[in-house]
Amino acid sequence: MAVIISDEELAMQLQQGNEDALETIVFRYHSKIFSYVYRMSKDYHNANDITQEVFIKVCRNIKKYKDEFLFKTWIYVIASNTCKDYLKSAYVQKTVTGLEMPENILDDVDTPEELLLKQSEREKIMEVLNTLPDIHREVIILRFYEELKLEEIAAILNIPLGTVKSRLSNGLHNLKKLLKEGGEVLG
């Protein structure tokens, strides 16, 4: 019977130089971190670069990790900060983003019509979500796409729980309003 090792134990093993622990961490978190970064950066290629940078930073900073914190929260803090730094960089601000890779939309769909409807709905929601201010978009992505708890989001963003709730509420309110209005950005 296989024993499942906690993320925190894997981090401790990685601190001791166990490369297999890194492989397991990457296996567990790569798709989650990529998904989060992709939704924040809005660009497939940038998301790959940022995700790679996140795991490089995990390796460089693993000695700073303390097991009193959830590893999941720690890695999302690194991802959030890396993504923000990348998006603020002069390179990204001057570069026109390339083609984006569509999200995987093949989720138990019975007919091509249902597939197209589902794809259209997702595209519309992401399009409108991308018009929201970063502070609202980030909280919505962490909560609903990454399925993190409000407390985890507060820890990742280093803001009070009340601020997370407020940003989530305001973001959802604005998202709903924009979807009803056809996605028009309000001035």
Tens digits of per-residue pLDDT, 9-42?
999 999 999 989 999 999 999 999 999 999 998 8
pTM, two decimal places: 0.70
Give the list of residues 6+ apart from residue 122 with CB closer than 8 angstroms, or none.
Answer: 103, 105
CATH topology for 104-187 is: Arc Repressor Mutant, subunit A (1.10.10)
Residue-averaged pLDDT of the chain: 83
CB 130 within 8 A of CB 137: yes
Query: What's the rounded Cα separation, in Å, for the pair 176 and 171?
Result: 9
Q: Where in the chain is the domain with CATH 1.10.10.10?
A: 104-187
Query: What was the pLDDT predicted at 112?
Result: 64
Q: Which residue has the higher pLDDT, 180 or 151?
A: 151
Q: pLDDT class for 88, splitting at 50, 70, 90?
A: confident
CATH topology for 1-101 is: Rna Polymerase Sigma Factor; Chain: A (1.10.1740)
